[in-house]
Chain A
Amino acid sequence: MTSAANTSDALPASVDAMLELLTSRGYLAERSLATVTYLSLRMGRPLFLEGEAGVGKTEIAKVLSAALGRKLIRLQCYEGLDVSSAVYEWNSAAQMIAIRMAEAAGDTDRDQLSSDIFADRYMIKRPLLQALEPDVAGPPVLLIDELDRADEAFEAYLLEILSDFQVTIPEFGTVKPPPPPIVIITSNRTREIHDALKRRCLYHWVDYPAAERELAIVKTRVPGISAKLSQQVVRFVQALRNQDFYKSPGVAETIDWATALSELDARSLTPQVVGDTLGALLKYQDDITRMQGDTLQKVLKEATSEN
C-alpha cells in the first residue's frame, strides 16, 4: 500500500492538473482526452485510444512518460507478433553452454540442471515482461501501439496481462509487479478489436482537433512560423478534411507541412508552393490528382481569404 501511495502522489490530482501536465510538455489535449487519461491513472485501468492515423494517440504515451518521469516501454504490433517477441524468450545458446559446462564439471543432477538453466539470467525479456518489472522511478508507461495490426491470437494473450497485470511462464512461474504499469493501447481501426479486450480498458475516440486547437498545436510545435502562415495552414487543412478524400490529413501531417513550409521560407500559401509540398499532406496519388485544378483553387481561396 505504501509504495502505491507514494507513486500516486506524483500523479495529477484532478482533470485540470492532468490538462496542465500535458500542456506543460507541449501536448495540447482536448479536455475529454485529459479526463480519460486522468481516470486511467487513478483507476489503474489500461487506456484504449482509437482514431484516424496522425491524431496524436501514440504521442500521448510519450508525453505522459516524460511528464511523469517514467520509463516508456513500447511494443509495436505487427501481424505474426508472438509471445517470444512480445513477452520473453529463453537464451538457448547460453543455456546450451551452461549444460555443456555442467556436463564437463561432472554434474549429473538433472533437476538441479533444469532449475539452473531456466533462471532469470537466461531469459531475454521483451517489452511486456519489461513493463512488469519494478522500476525505481515508479511503474513504467507501456505503449501497445497499433494493436489492430497484431492478430486475434495475440489479443487473446493480452487479456491476462491487461486484467491481472501478470504473466505466467511455464518454466518460471507467475510474474506480477506490486504496482501495475500505466498502459496505453492505440488502434487505427484497420480491424475491430475484440470486445473482451476493450471491456478491460477505458475507451476513447481521438478526433481531429478543432481549428483553434490545431492552430495552437502548430504554433507550439513549429516555433518559427509566422502568425499569418500558421493560420492559413490550419484553415487549409481543415478545409481539406471536409473534402471527400481517401485519407484526410492528421495533425501529424499538419505539423509536417507547416515545418516544410517554414523550411522553404514561405510567407503565405500560393498555388505554386502548395502544389510543391502537397505530398506532406496527402499520401494517396488519387487524392493528390483530385486536388489539382479547381479544388485546389477553391480550398486555397477559402484558406487565404481574410476571415
Chain B
Amino acid sequence: MAINHLAPEQTEQFADNIVGFARALRAAGMPVGPGAVIDAMSALQVIDIGKRADVFTTLEAIFVKRHEHALVFSQAFNLFFRPSEEWKHMLDSVPLPDEAKKKPKAGSRRVQEAMSQPRMTETQQHQEQDLRLSVSDKEILQKKDFAQMSAAEIAEALRAIDRMHLPQAELLTRRHRPDARGLRLDLRRTLRASLRTGGDIIDIRRLGRIEKPAPIVALLDISGSMSEYPRLFLHFLHAITDARKRVSVFLFGPRLTNVSRALRQRDPDEALASCSASVEDWAGGTRISASLHNFNKLWARRVLSQGAIVLLISDGLEREADSKLAFEMDRLHRSCRRLIWLNPLLRFGGFEAKAQGIKMMLPHVDEFRPVHNLSSIQELITTLSQPLPPHHRSLIRSAA
C-alpha cells in the first residue's frame, strides 16, 4: 500500500477513533464489519485528511453500502467529527461514545417465560395432553376466522402456518445446468467425455434450464380496520420468506414501509419484533392510493422486475377513493406478472363490492380471494404453486 506523505503518522488514538466511529455506526444500525475499519484506516492514508469533505466521502464510500444508510452516516459523521476550524485534530481527540443501550431481544421474552414457568408435575402433564387439540378441533380451526380466535388458537394457527410450504420451481430462467433430459447440447461436457474414448462421441451430454421460484411481493395493509390480521399474515410471510429467497414485504397504513430485511431473520418472534419496530403507525388510517403511489414510484422497478407475483392484502376500505386509486392500481397491475388481492372482508357470505375504493380496485386485479382463516391461506398456497398462466387481465373470481 502506497503511503501519501500528506497524511501524518497515525497515532494509536487515531485508530481508536476510527474504531469508535465504526462502533457508533454499528450502534445506529449500520452493518459495519472489522474489514471496513481496516479499509478505512488504509484509505485515510492515501488522501489529505486536512480536507473534511474528502474524509467524509472516503469514509462514506467504505462504511455505507446502501443508499438508505447515507443519511444515518452523515448525521453520525457530523456528530462524531464536529465541524470546526481545526477539525483535523478531532480525529485524535474525540472520546469514544457510550455503548448504545441495548434493548432486550425479542426472542428473549419467550426464554424468560419458559424459564419462569414452574415445573410441571405429572398430573399437570397429563392434563396438558388432554388439552391438546384433537383432529376435529383442528378442522374447526381451519375454518375459524382469525378475528375470532383465542390466544391459544392463534398460537396453534401460527404453528400450522409454519408447517406450510411453498413449492420451489416455477419459473424457467435463462441459465442452464447439466440435465440428461435437457434440450440443449452441452458441447463442453460431451467433448470432455469423448476424450475418455480417444475422441469418439459415445454419450451426448445435455443442458436443461434452471428453474427457480417467482419472486413474491406482498403489500400488507396494517390500518385499524385490519387490526386482527397483520400479525398472522406477517407470520405467514415470514414462513415463506424463510423458504425462498425472493420475497419482499411492504406494510402500509398512512405510510409505506419496507420490512423485507427485518422478516429475513431466522426467529419469527425476532423478525416480527423488528418489523413492528420499523413501522411507526400501526393501526392508523389507510391511504391505499398514496401508498400504492409510493410503491409504484420508489419500489416497483426494484422488486417487480423479474416477473413477480404481487399479493395485495387489504380490505380496500379507502377514504380517498378517486381516479388516482384506479390509476395506481392499473400501474401496479401492468408492472407485475400477477396481482392477487386477498381481502378478509370476503368472509362474509353476501359480500358485494359496494365501497367506492373496492369498486375502483377490482377491475385491475387478476384474482380476488378471501383470506381470513387457515384453509383460505392453504388455498392460496395451492394457487401459488400452480404453473402461472401467461399474463392475463381482469379474470376476477367471485367470492368463495
Hey, which bits of chain A sit against chain B, CB under 8 A? 8, 14-15, 31-32, 35-36, 38-39, 42-43, 45, 50, 79-80, 82, 84, 89-90, 92, 95-96, 99-100, 102-103, 108, 110, 113-114, 117, 151-153, 171, 189-192, 195, 198-199, 202-205, 244, 246, 286
Q: Is B382 an interface residue (CB 8 A)?
A: no
Complex Cα gap A250–B251 (Å) = 30
Question: Which of the segments B16-24, B82-90, B158-166, B171-179 contacts the partner chain?
Answer: B171-179
Interface of B is mostly: helix
Contacts A82-B176, A102-B199, A103-B198; A203 near B64 (Cβ below 8 A): yes
Complex Cα gap A39–B48 (Å) = 11
Q: Bits for B187-202, please: 1 = Cβ < 8 Å to A, else 0.
A: 1100110111011000
Residues on A with beta carbons closer than 8 Å to the beta carbon of B60? 32, 203-204
Per a CB cutoff under 8 Å, which of A117, A151, A204 touches B175?
A151
Contact between A32 and B195 (Cβ–Cβ < 8 Å)?
A: no
Contact between B199 and A189 (Cβ–Cβ < 8 Å)?
A: no
Residues on A with beta carbons closer than 8 Å to the beta carbon of B191? 90, 92, 95-96, 99, 117
Contact between B302 and A191 (Cβ–Cβ < 8 Å)?
A: yes
B52 to chain A, nearest CB (A): 12
Q: Is B389 an interface residue (CB 8 A)?
A: no
Within residues 181 to 216 of chain B, which ones have a CB less than 8 A from any CB in chain A?
Answer: 187-188, 191-192, 194-196, 198-199
Contact between B198 and A110 (Cβ–Cβ < 8 Å)?
A: yes
Complex Cα gap A134–B309 (Å) = 46
Contact between B188 and A113 (Cβ–Cβ < 8 Å)?
A: no
A211 to chain B, nearest CB (A): 20
Per a CB cutoff under 8 Å, which of A50, A152, A191 touches B67?
A50
Q: Is B273 an interface residue (CB 8 A)?
A: no
Per a CB cutoff under 8 Å, which of A113, A202, A244, A246 touches B195?
A113
Question: Which of the segments B28-36, B126-134, B232-240 contacts the partner chain?
Answer: B28-36
Complex Cα gap A294–B31 (Å) = 46
Contact between A205 and B67 (Cβ–Cβ < 8 Å)?
A: yes
Contact between A202 and B61 (Cβ–Cβ < 8 Å)?
A: yes
Contacts A15-B54, A31-B57, A99-B199; A39 near B67 (Cβ below 8 A): no
Contact between B42 and A43 (Cβ–Cβ < 8 Å)?
A: yes
Complex Cα gap A38–B43 (Å) = 10
B346 to chain A, nearest CB (A): 31
Contact between B175 and A39 (Cβ–Cβ < 8 Å)?
A: no
Residues on B with beta carbons closer than 8 Å to the beta carbon of A113? 195, 198-199
Chain B interface size, as a band, is 35 or more
Complex Cα gap A204–B198 (Å) = 54
A-B contact pairs, 9 of them (CB 8 A): A8-B2, A31-B57, A35-B47, A35-B54, A38-B46, A43-B1, A43-B43, A102-B199, A203-B64
Contact between B53 and A32 (Cβ–Cβ < 8 Å)?
A: yes
Complex Cα gap A18–B172 (Å) = 46
Complex Cα gap A29–B283 (Å) = 46
Complex Cα gap A114–B192 (Å) = 8
Smallest Cβ-Cβ distance to A204: which chain B residue:
B61
Contact between B67 and A189 (Cβ–Cβ < 8 Å)?
A: yes
B25 to chain A, nearest CB (A): 14
Residues on A with beta carbons closer than 8 Å to the beta carbon of B362? none
Which of A42, A45, A195 lies at the interface centre, i.e. has the most chain B CB atoms within 10 A of its CB? A42
Per a CB cutoff under 8 Å, which of A45, A152, A153, A195 touches B65?
A195
Contact between A39 and B36 (Cβ–Cβ < 8 Å)?
A: no
Contacts A42-B2, A79-B306; A103 near B43 (Cβ below 8 A): no
Contact between B173 and A110 (Cβ–Cβ < 8 Å)?
A: no
Contact between A15 and B48 (Cβ–Cβ < 8 Å)?
A: yes
A33 to chain B, nearest CB (A): 8
Q: Is B303 an interface residue (CB 8 A)?
A: yes
A50 to chain B, nearest CB (A): 6
Complex Cα gap A36–B51 (Å) = 14
Residues on B with beta carbons closer than 8 Å to the beta carbon of A43? 1, 39, 42-43, 46
Contacts A39-B43, A80-B175; A192 near B35 (Cβ below 8 A): no
Complex Cα gap A32–B60 (Å) = 10
Residues on A with beta carbons closer than 8 Å to the beta carbon of B46? 38-39, 42-43
Contact between B188 and A82 (Cβ–Cβ < 8 Å)?
A: no
Smallest Cβ-Cβ distance to B53: which chain A residue:
A31
Can you add 8 more A-B contacts, CB < 8 Å, to A99-B191, A195-B65?
A35-B53, A39-B46, A43-B43, A80-B175, A82-B175, A92-B187, A92-B188, A199-B33
